[in-house]
Amino acid sequence: MTVRLVWSPAAKADLIDIYVMIGSENTRAADRYYDQLEARAMQPAD
């Protein structure tokens, strides 16, 4: 069974807001956060 992840507009906006907030202090940390979140979202549910 294939599962497709759909990000709501609100979730996308929240992710961007979080990224910008972290990035204002540390851009590398913001990139790591985003990459880790994206990787986890693509993993199948346990």
pLDDT (tens digit, 0 to 9) for every residue of the chain, 46 residues total? 677 788 899 999 999 999 999 999 999 999 999 999 988 888 876 6
26 is written with which tokens?
Answer: 């540390």
Q: How far apart are CA 8 and CA 12, in angstroms?
A: 6
Considering only CA atoms, give the Rg of the chain. 12
Task: For the chain, give every domain's residue range.
Answer: 9-41
pLDDT at site 13 = 96
